[in-house]
Amino acid sequence: MTVKPHYHLCKALNGDMPQPLWPHDVALVPFRPDAPEMIAALHALLASSYEAVGDHVPPLTAWWQVLSADEEYEAALILPVVSGQGELIAFAHCWNSGFIKDIVVQPSWRKQGIAEALLLHCFQVFYARGADKICLKVDQNNPFGAERLYRRLGMVDV
């Protein structure tokens, strides 16, 4: 397997973080680990996003077994976003160590501020948990403008 070059970015968490501004008709909802349809929707959105950049996600059952058994997994750190019609349109998945593993937004919902709102929400979640920083990795060739967003919101190379 080829390792893609990436940036490892972190943000110091302090008291002056902007509030997330969610677009109209979009809502952050609790993740329900007892809802197979929600898990399947998360997996499908993640898989399609990874496929768009030439990566892959294991099949649903294997993916969920590995993720939910990981020592850094917490259901409260999967942050789904739905449209007004209840469709999953985005989510963030964080590890309890203060690491954002994935932020994914459906292509038809991009460029509307959802990723920014999710990222700002992640900052607040970990600040409230007493973390002093939050980190992530982003491919240097990410085609979605993610690196630019992360840096604009104060994330820096480590």
CA 82 to chain centre: 14
56-110 pLDDT per residue, tens: 999 999 999 999 999 999 999 999 999 999 999 999 999 999 999 999 999 999 9
Integer distance in angstroms from the first to the last C-alpha of the chain? 24
Domain chopping of the chain, boundaries = 6-157
Nearest to 31 by CA among 78, 88, 74: 78
What whole-number distance in Å separates Cα of residue 47 and Cα of residue 19? 29
Q: What is the pLDDT of residue 61?
A: 97
* CATH hierarchy code of domain 6-157: 3.40.630.30
Cα separation values, 63 from 21, 70, 75, Å = 31, 11, 15
